[in-house]
């Protein structure tokens, strides 16, 4: 067995606070001059030479050193995929490929388990902010997450319903519920074989400008699949029988991208002392105590509760983290974004997805509720080796664990963004890394900004 020694820090581009990140189950920790150094046993490489990663911050390692750090966490096949990623199959009207950097949150504790989170984004400050947010929560046990289930809703639209059937039409559909469920499940053998399937037929009548419509909602337990195609296929399979029952015409047959059966509730306590800022920015000293920072973040949270303009930007900060993890893992980022913003307006008032308050010890307590339509089987996960490797990096064994991890990254990103906003401000915290990226590693932009 080779031994890998590492000191890992994540420089939060938004807060510019250097966070020492302790790492991964199996490591032992030491404190040297106030900096935590961690040692982890790592398997030997295939040629028999032990892997020895230098004692560096993760962000300061070379690409090969970072990949060597992954040994022991992912399979050799996945490691080779990360090193030698092949381009995907050509898409429709293909002309080229657009590469997106994949970084990692080196450690985020979710339900007592230390995980890594791959993040695909053009914006390096997202990785830095999520990493620091994870560190702020670590002293108080990390993130506690509950997932309600893996259910998605399908919908079937019926129009041109004969007038003599409109009075009893909902009862007629309910009486056929079991038959309709059997038809739906016959259309998706894979989900049924995994222990899932359709259930709970719910007809409703809508009075629209174009006339009376019946909408038949049905729930599908998708298990570890995202299930969009399967649910839509089930809706299509039921269409003929529904026309026979109602005498109407089926037009729309599709899933809903508001999966209330896939809500994720995430909470964490962020240490007030870790949230404090004492630094130089643009020639000025910024000193904000932990107690004052907690007050400021709560004030920002209250602002988002009262103002839709602010709530939209507040939620965008959460999705910066969630969507970037989703992209790295081959998920449907559009579905995830649509679900989140629809849920934010579920009570007819667009509101922030997260909430912050002070706990009894004066620390910052944050909570987040968000729907998470994701999967760990099917789609690009089974066809793209890099996506498969990224999923292995997370250590998540199913869609419930992955949903929990993604919500935790969202809340971690959120608290770091609010801390930066309450501290030195967006441009002072975010732009140095932005200039470093667009300047190809230059130390500033027009001499006015430092990348440090």
The set of catalytic residues is: 123, 316, 332, 430
Q: Are 334 and 296 in contact (CB under 8 A)?
A: no
- Best CA proximity match to 155, nearest among 202, 89, 102: 202
Q: For residue 384, give every residue at least 6 positions away whose Cβ sits within 8 Å of its Cβ, in sequence order, or none.
A: 88, 330
Enumerate the β-bridge partners of residue 268: 143, 366
Cα(224)–Cα(245) distance, rounded to whole angstroms? 33
Sign of CA dihedral 117, 404, 20, 421: positive
Cα(355)–Cα(40) distance, rounded to whole angstroms? 36
Q: How many CA atoms lie within 13 A of 145 on its CB side?
A: 32
At residue 248's C-alpha, the angle toward residues 243 and 253, to 5°, is 60
Cα(166)–Cα(168) distance, rounded to whole angstroms? 6
Q: What are phi and psi of 170, to 5 degrees?
A: -65, -40
- Please name the residue that has the structure tokens 């007030």: 272
- For the CA atoms of 34, 288, 266, 385, what is the dihedral angle to 10 degrees? -60
């Amino acid at each position: 067995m080779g031994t890998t020694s590492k000191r890992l820090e994540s420089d939060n581009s938004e807060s510019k606070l250097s966070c020492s990140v302790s790492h991964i189950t199996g490591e032992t920790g030491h404190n040297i001059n106030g900096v935590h150094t961690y040692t982890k046993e790592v398997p030997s490489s295939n040629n028999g030479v032990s892997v020895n990663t230098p004692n560096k911050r993760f962000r300061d390692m070379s690409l090969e050193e970072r990949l060597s750090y992954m040994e022991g966490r992912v399979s050799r096949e996945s490691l080779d995929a990360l090193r030698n990623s092949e381009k995907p199959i050509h898409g429709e009207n293909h002309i080229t490929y657009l590469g997106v950097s994949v970084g990692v949150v080196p450690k985020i504790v979710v339900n007592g388990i230390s995980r890594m989170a791959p993040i695909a984004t053009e914006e390096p400050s997202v990785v830095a902010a999520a990493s620091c947010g994870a560190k702020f929560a670590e002293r108080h046990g990390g993130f506690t997450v509950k997932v309600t289930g893996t259910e998605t809703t399908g919908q079937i639209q019926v129009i041109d319903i004969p007038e003599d059937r409109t009075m009893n039409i909902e009862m007629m559909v309910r009486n056929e519920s079991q038959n309709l469920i059997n038809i739906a499940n016959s259309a998706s053998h894979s989900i049924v074989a995994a222990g899932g399937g359709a259930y709970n037929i719910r007809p409703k009548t809508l009075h629209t400008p174009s006339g009376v419509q019946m909408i038949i909602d049905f729930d599908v337990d998708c298990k570890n699949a995202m299930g969009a195609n399967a649910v839509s296929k089930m809706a299509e399979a039921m269409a003929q029988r529904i026309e026979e029952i109602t005498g109407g015409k089926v037009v729309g047959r599709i899933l809903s991208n508001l999966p209330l059966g896939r809500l994720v509730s995430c909470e964490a306590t962020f240490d007030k002392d870790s949230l404090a800022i004492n630094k130089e920015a643009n020639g000025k000293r910024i000193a904000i105590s932990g107690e004052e920072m907690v007050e400021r973040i709560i004030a920002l949270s209250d602002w988002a509760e009262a103002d839709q303009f602010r709530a939209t930007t507040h939620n965008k900060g959460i999705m910066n983290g969630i969507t970037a993890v989703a992209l790295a893992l081959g998920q449907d980022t559009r579905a995830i974004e649509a679900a989140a913003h629809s849920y934010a307006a579920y009570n007819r008032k667009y509101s922030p997805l997260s909430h912050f308050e002070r706990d009894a010890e004066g620390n910052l307590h944050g909570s987040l509720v968000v729907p998470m339509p994701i999967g760990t089987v099917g789609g690009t996960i089974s066809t793209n080796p890099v996506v498969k490797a990224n999923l292995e990096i997370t250590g998540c064994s199913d869609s419930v664990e992955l949903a929990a991890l993604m919500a935790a990254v969202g809340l971690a990103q959120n608290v770091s963004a609010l801390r930066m906003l309450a501290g030195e401000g967006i441009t002072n915290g975010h732009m140095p890394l932005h200039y470093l990226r667009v300047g190809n590693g230059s130390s500033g932009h027009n001499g006015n900004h430092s990348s440090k």
